[in-house]
C-alpha cells in the first residue's frame, strides 16, 4: 500500500488566500484524522472522521477552518481566509477500527502564509 498520501507537500500563500489541503487515507481504513504541528504547540488534533462522518471537531481553531470527507478515500482541510499564524505542518493520518489500532501518518503538508 502507498500509505497515507497528502498534497501539496509544500505551499506558500499570501494572507487572505484560500488554502486547500488534500488527503487520501490508506485503503480500507475507516478513521481519518487531521493534525497540526507547530514548534510552540506541538501536535494538535484538529478533527477526526469515522466512516466519513466528523466525530469530533473541537480542535478546529476557528470558523476559518473546515474539513470534509465526501467518501472513504478522500478528505480535504480548507482554510479561508488564511492568516500568518496558520503557518504549520498539517498531517493527515488514518487507522482501521474505532480504537486501539495503530495510526498511520502521511508526510505532511508544509504551509507558510506570508
Is the Cβ of residue 65 or residue 91 nearer to other proteins in the bound state? 91
Q: How far is the CB of 57 from other proteins (least distance, A)?
A: 11
Query: If 0-12 CB within 10 Å is exposed, 13-18 middle and 19+ buried, where does residue 12 land?
Result: exposed
Is the Cβ of residue 5 or residue 76 nearer to other proteins in the bound state? 5
Q: How far is the CB of 16 from other proteins (least distance, A)?
A: 27
Radius of gyration of the chain (CA): 13
Smallest CA-to-CA distance from 88 within 97, 98, 77, 99 is with 77
Residues at the interface with other proteins (CB under 8 A): 4, 31, 33, 42-43, 45, 48, 50, 55-56, 91, 93, 95, 97-108
Amino acid at each position: 500500500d502507498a500509505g497515507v498520501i497528502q498534497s501539496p507537500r509544500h505551499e506558500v500563500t499570501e494572507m487572505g488566500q484560500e488554502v486547500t489541503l488534500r488527503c487520501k487515507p490508506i485503503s480500507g481504513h475507516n478513521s481519518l484524522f487531521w493534525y497540526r504541528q507547530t514548534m510552540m504547540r506541538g501536535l494538535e488534533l484538529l478533527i477526526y472522521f469515522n466512516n466519513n462522518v466528523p466525530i469530533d471537531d473541537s480542535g478546529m481553531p476557528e470558523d476559518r477552518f473546515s474539513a470534509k470527507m465526501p467518501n472513504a478515500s478522500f478528505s480535504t482541510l480548507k482554510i479561508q481566509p488564511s492568516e500568518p499564524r496558520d503557518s504549520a505542518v498539517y498531517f493527515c493520518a488514518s487507522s482501521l477500527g474505532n480504537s486501539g489500532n495503530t495510526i498511520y501518518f502521511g508526510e505532511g503538508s508544509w504551509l507558510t502564509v506570508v
